[in-house]
Copies of this chain bind each other. A is one copy, B any other.
Amino acid sequence: MIELIVVLKPETTEARVQEITERLEKRGFRVHHSQGEKRTLLGVIGHPEEGLSHSLEAMAEVEKVVPISRPYKLVSREFSPENSVIELNEQLSIGGKQIVVMAGPCAVEGEEQVLESAQEVKKAGAQVLRGGAFKPRTSPYSFQGMKGEGLEMLNRAREETGMLIITEVIDPHNVDKVARYSDILQVGTRNMQNFYLLQELSRIRKPVLLKRGMSATIEEWLMAAEYLMSGGNYQVLLCERGIRTFETYTRNTLDLSAVALAKQLTHLPVVVDPSHGTGRRELISAMSKAAVAAGADGLLLEVHPRPEEAFSDGPQSLTPGDFQQLMDELKGVASSVGRSI
């Protein structure tokens, strides 16, 4: 299989072409030549090797190196042509016909708030309770989450309501603790390329929801998922949550094409977070419906009993009433694309 094509600059001498070829052959590759009027192309065949593309590009004679095969393996459709359906508990799995709704406050702020949220979102049809105990915040002066105490509050909400829990993990050394208190571990957008954290998460056997980095390409996102799978954790949920663009009217630009693409390139379930993806409450309903129509397997939504009292992300939180109405409206959309919610 040709791994990459090397385009040599027009002025490259035949002697140098020969030298580069021999060098590649010594490293175990086979090389095809294709001589044009001006440029020589080399087709390099063999198993991919660390840094090969880099060391070729570093040569003065090389105009460009074009990779032919894709860098991700285990997450790809070629590895597993069928959709991965990931079991969340005995009753619930994600990646199949059922669209899973994860809802709750951005941050855990107190026992009452968590419990009230859990009851409200459960009543409206959510199956998973979201709530952050550890909050990465732009400012050192902002609320950083209730941490361990917050985990315990989530745990009590789980016991009282029977809901599953999704919560964010930030510190690689805290993975086991967070895993004990939750059913799905969330990797936030700022940590998508925190490779130590990914490595730790690849060793556990719990579902991990991997948010796309706010400026990560789709390929980088899939490579981050590859970290999890290559370390042995196959229970990976991808989550699109908006990318950073020049547009300032919305907090991020929700990239729903990425959902359709990820469903084609990989076998993994894809979740959409319209709350962070837009940052504006008044857009969440339309974007949730669009996400479902685009093929999302799950939604992650911020719902707060009193958004104006939220410690963070109030402007993008739905009230329980809004959420109930949205859930009702989503039923028809889901059904129109052969899904249920």
Q: List A residues at the B interface (Cβ < 8 Å).
A: 1-2, 5, 7, 10, 32, 34, 36-39, 41, 43, 45, 48, 50-51, 54-59, 66, 68-69, 71, 78, 136-144, 170-173, 190-191, 193-196, 214-215, 217-220, 223, 226-227, 230-231, 243-250, 253-261, 263-264, 277-278, 280-283, 286-287, 289-295, 307-315, 317, 329, 332-333, 335-337
Which residues from chain B contact A1 at a C-beta distance below 8 Å? 36-39
Q: Tell me if B50 and A43 are in contact (CB < 8 A).
A: no
Q: Tell me if A226 and B139 are in contact (CB < 8 A).
A: yes
Q: Tell me if B309 and A283 are in contact (CB < 8 A).
A: no
Q: Tell me if B59 and A308 are in contact (CB < 8 A).
A: yes
Q: Tell me if B50 and A141 are in contact (CB < 8 A).
A: yes
Q: A39-B2, A214-B215, A336-B335 are in contact. Are A58 and B247 (CB under 8 A)?
A: no
Q: Tell me if B5 and A314 are in contact (CB < 8 A).
A: no
Once bound together, how far apart are the Cα atoms of A195 and B139, in whole Å?
A: 9
Once bound together, how far apart are the Cα atoms of A280 and B62, in whole Å?
A: 12
Q: How far is the CB of A49 from chain B (nearest CB, A)?
A: 10
Q: How far is the CB of A70 from chain B (nearest CB, A)?
A: 10
Where chain A touches its partner, the secondary structure class is mixed
Q: Tell me if A309 and B50 are in contact (CB < 8 A).
A: no
Which residue from B215, B291, B329 sits with its C-beta under 8 Å from A244?
B215
Instruction: Select the residue from A253, A287, A292 with max chain B CB neighbours within 10 A.
Output: A253
Chain B residue with the shortest CB-CB distance to A59:
B308
Q: How far is the CB of A246 from chain B (nearest CB, A)?
A: 5
Q: Tell me if A193 and B313 are in contact (CB < 8 A).
A: no
Which residues from chain B contact A48 at a C-beta distance below 8 Å? 141
Chain B residue with the shortest CB-CB distance to A314:
B58
Q: A245-B246, A257-B287 are in contact. Are A68 and B55 (CB under 8 A)?
A: no
Chain B residue with the shortest CB-CB distance to A195:
B136
Once bound together, how far apart are the Cα atoms of A219 and B205, in whole Å?
A: 38
